[in-house]
Amino acid sequence: MLVTCQQMFDAEAQLFSTGISAESYMDEAGRRCALEIRRLCPSPATAEIFCGKGNNGGDALVIARWLKRWGWRTNLHFSHGRDDISDLARIKLEQYRSEPGRDSVTSNQVICVDGLLGIGAVGDLRGGVREQADRINQLRNETWATCFAVDTPSGLNADTGEVCKGAVIADVTLTITCAKTGFASDHAINHVGRIALIPLDIPVNECATEVNLLFPTNLLPRLKRRDFDTHKGAAGKVAVIAGSRGLTGAASLTASGASAIGAGLVTALASEESYEVIAAQAPTEIMVRPGRSRKTIDQLNPDVIAIGPGLGDEVPAELIELMLNHPAPMVIDADALNALAKHQIDPAELPPNRVLTPHPGELARLTEKDDDRVSLTRQLADKWGVTLLHKGARSAIATPGSPVELNTTGHPGMASGGMGDVLTGMCAGLIGQGVSQHDAACLGSWLLGRAAELATMCDKRANESITAHSVASHLGIALRELQTEMIG
């Protein structure tokens, strides 16, 4: 769910009016934010902590105290000086000073914690706040620091997503209790970055339900837990129709995505001319068969079909007929989507058990509509009567009768070939295990982004250097984390 700033203020005021201490919630918010920072940056490093004069600065000081306890090197910066802060922040500053420091820094990494302004601040940044915001952005550019924004990036309107000049560019936004409505805006993506939920027990009575952000708290219930006697035939039979001459890797990546997410039996159906290459490239657990006729497909009796990656410019008529008429659920991507556009087939002609996974370019070939991501995804899913996974930096998922849901994980290193192929296989693998189309698209998007994060952390790679193959290899860790709710 998404909340406005006023709804959040009202919920907090109602809670604190009962006599519950605001300080206890500040302590818990700061502690959980610090835990999330440590999960995403496991090695003690240098933390530049930027504090405003209000309680958001107090949250940042709690974070600083915990990082200091864990051996981080912490440096404090104040927008209005150490003396001009709220009474509660002053208490947190004294507690920070009293915390014994033990420098255990093992990394050259630098992080910035943006605690300059809270969600209620609007308008241009001025004076000391602007100076410190500029300093955060400078550190991010010059030292490749990772910026964590507490609740919202300073300078971003948390209600609308509008960004003022000089606003902090966050790599991760630690949104406390609930995500704010402005985070769903296209304007906000480059300033909000990855979104992590910091849950606090503050009941919010009213909230927007038309749009939802994906977090472990709302994704975990959608996973299917297996019975002990589950066998491979009951864990999902996935048929993959992908790859062609010169594009054979797409078949392997799609099949890998389905297998890594838990599908019981994955079979790649190759064209005659690409069979030998695909068979040689495919992981050993993937079966590869020549031929893509309806008879060959039906012999497999698949629970779900993944079709499209790497099929090339000329998609045979029999595969278009398959998309239109085969009764099995189907995940349609890449060249299969382009074939629909090329032959001017309205996606509304597809059966409702289809998941379409276009990136913006593929979507543009299917429609002339041009709107913001949330509105466009909503309109087209309702018009076409299918599940639409609109890929991008904030992938949007919509199905008729369900809210639009936005992914929160991932990083810019995913802007490379093959990521969508893995995602297509993942969605198919989840559907084959009994997950609904909508939930499969949501789980697949979140897990792919988290696996990309793990690929950089576990392998100690730069974001830009990860590949679709390395992301697929980390899906098991991402799935295990979600099963145990280890991250926000």
| pLDDT of 302 | 98
One DSSP character per residue, 377-434 reads: HHHHHHHHTSEEEE-STT-EEE-TTS-EEE-----GGG-STTHHHHHHHHHHHHHHTT
Task: Look up residue 311 and give its DSSP letter.
Answer: -
Candidates 302, 291, 285, 249; CA nearest to 269 is: 291
Task: Look up residue 234 and give its DSSP letter.
Answer: G
Q: What is the pLDDT of residues 188-228, one digit of tens each?
A: 999 999 999 999 988 887 777 899 999 999 999 999 999 99
How far apart (Å, rounded) are the C-alpha atoms in residues 333 and 118? 41
Q: What is the pLDDT of residues 285-336, one digit of tens each?
A: 999 999 999 999 999 999 999 999 999 999 999 999 999 999 999 999 999 9
Could you state, in order of their start, the residue ranges of all structural domains in the chain? 2-208, 221-483
| Residue 102 pLDDT class (50, 70, 90 cuts) | confident
Q: What is the pLDDT of residues 66-97, one digit of tens each?
A: 999 999 999 999 999 988 899 999 999 999 99
How far apart (Å, rounded) are the C-alpha atoms in residues 220 and 213? 14
Domain 2-208 classified CATH 3.40.50.10260?
A: yes
Q: How many CB atoms lie within 10 A of CB 215?
A: 22
Q: Are strands 387-390 and 396-398 parallel, antiparallel or unpaired?
A: antiparallel
| pLDDT of 103 | 85
Q: Which two tokens stand for residue 465?
A: 């250097």
Whether 486 has a pLDDT exceeding 70, the answer reads no
Q: What is the pLDDT of residues 265-286, one digit of tens each?
A: 999 999 999 999 999 999 999 9
Q: What is the pLDDT of residues 40-58, one digit of tens each?
A: 999 999 999 999 999 999 9
Adjacency order of strands within the sheet including 146-150: 73-78, 46-51, 110-115, 146-150, 172-176, 194-198
| pLDDT of 224 | 92
| pLDDT of 174 | 98
What percent of the chain is predicted at pLDDT more than 90?
90
How far apart (Å, rounded) are the C-alpha atoms in residues 34 and 40? 10
| pLDDT of 205 | 77
Whether 485 has a pLDDT exceeding 80, the answer reads no
Q: Under a CB-based contact definition with an 8 Å cutoff, are residues 75 and 54 in contact? A: no
Name the CATH topology of 221-483: UDP-N-acetylmuramoyl-L-alanine:D-glutamate ligase (3.40.1190)
| Residue 152 pLDDT class (50, 70, 90 cuts) | very high
| pLDDT of 353 | 98
- Which of 78-82, 136-140, 154-158, 250-254 is least confident? 78-82
Beta strands in 10-134 (DSSP E): 46-51, 73-78, 110-115
Whole-structure pTM value:
0.95
Q: What is the pLDDT of residues 129-148, one digit of tens each?
A: 999 999 999 999 999 999 99
Q: Which two tokens stand for residue 74?
A: 């912490």
Whether 109 has a pLDDT exceeding 60, the answer reads yes
| pLDDT of 426 | 98
| Residue 19 pLDDT class (50, 70, 90 cuts) | confident
Q: What is the pLDDT of residues 380-398, one digit of tens each?
A: 999 999 999 999 999 999 9
| Residue 487 pLDDT class (50, 70, 90 cuts) | low
Looking at every residue in the chain, the average pLDDT score rounds to 95
